Each structure stands twice: as structure tokens, then as C-alpha cells.
Amino acid sequence: VDKGPENTVMSWPHLLILEALATLGTTVLLLFWSLAINAPLREFADPEVSENPAKAAWYFMNLQEMLLHMHPALAGVIIPVLMLVVLMAIPYFDRSQEDVGVWFASKKGRKIALWSTVYTSIWLIGLVLFDEYIRLRSIVNEPEILVGWIIPIVVIVALSGALYIMIRKWRPTTRETLIGLFTAFVVTYILLTIVGLFFR
């Protein structure tokens, strides 16, 4: 439908008044909430003694969780930098103007996203439990290069490649393929954050 100027309204005052009211309402709600409920404050931090376990902020919990399963340079630098580069490159891979602004692009995209969520969740939880079991039993006494570098890289590449091959069986568009891979990234981020926050 072609919406001409007769079907539009100016952002001032229609939109900005509502946004200002929402902002003020949120501020008032938080103000009264902070007056009614005492914050769970702890003792002053001691720079001589670190917490055990020392935890990062919640949005870095996924990186802290990965530090337990691979070499710190791989988990803390190489993988995050590669992921940021890949995320920045997504618009260059998908140049299509079809389905712009449509959630999951199509019904096939929804199925791919759901499959990617299930696949990633099962494998990630299984790998965390497996690695925790191996570490608890001290079965692996291999050199750091094998345990910290080779095994994690092989597992990441193999599982990502297997997911890509499974997604391609649906004969998806480039956007639907990227939706499946991006869903795997988001599920990994969320699950590692939950594991690091609540199970460590």
C-alpha cells in the first residue's frame, strides 16, 4: 500500500510525547522501586583478595565459560574477534532486498532457526557436561596444544560445518542460511551465559 503524506503524522508531537512519557514513567517506577526494596549490597571490595570464584559481568560470562574449555588466547581473543568480523560481514553476504524486516524471512526460515536452536542446545550442553566430566575425573593429561587448541578448533569447525550441511538440505536462500547460523551463535551466547552465571 502506498502511504502518501496524507496517511502520516509528524514525529513531533505524536511520537516524542509518547517516548517522553515512557521515559518519565520508567524513571518514576525505578525511583519508587529503589525506595521500597533495599539493594543487596556486600562489603567493600578488597583488592588484595579476589572472589572465589571471581565472576565477570553477566555479559562476559560466556567468554569466562569458554576459558574453562580451551586456551585463554583462543577463547578470549581469537574466537570473539572472528565472531565480530563475521557478524560485521553478514550484510555483505546477504545483499537481497526480499523479505527485509520480516522475522525469519519465511516459514522455511522459522524451521531452520528452530532446528538450529535444538541442534546447538543439545551439542553445547553435551559438550559442557562432557568437558566437565573429563576435567573432574582428570582423565585427560594431554599437552596444552591438544586440549586447549586442536580439540576445541576441530569440534567448533566440525559442528559448524555439520550445521551448515544440514541447513543446506532445506535448499534455503542466503538469508535463511545466515538466519540458521546466526541462531546458533545467539543460542551459544545465551547458553554459555546461563551456564557461567548459574552453574559455576
Q: What is the pLDDT of residue 131?
A: 85
Q: Which helix (H) or strand (E) holds 58?
A: none
Q: What band does 77 get if pLDDT is binned at 50, 70 and 90?
A: very high
**Whether the predicted pLDDT of 106 surpasses 60:** yes
The C-alpha cell 553435551 sits at 126
Helix spans in 37-150 (H): 61-67, 72-73, 79-93, 107-137, 144
Q: Using an 8 Å Cβ cutoff, are 66 and 192 in contact? A: yes
CB-count burial class (<10 Å; 0-12, 13-18, 19+) for 116: buried
Q: Looking at residues 98-112, what average pLDDT do you find?
A: 89
- Span 35-57, pLDDT tens digits: 999 887 778 878 888 776 677 88
The per-residue pLDDT for 135 is: 66
Query: Residue 72: is its pLDDT beyond 60?
Result: yes
Nearest to 188 by CA among 122, 140, 139: 122
Per-residue model confidence (pLDDT) at position 102: 86
The whole-number pLDDT of residue 138 equals: 55
**Can you give the pTM of this predicted structure?**
0.74
Contact yes or no for 103/116 (Cβ under 8 A) = no
Of all residues in the chain, the percent with pLDDT exceeding 70 is 92
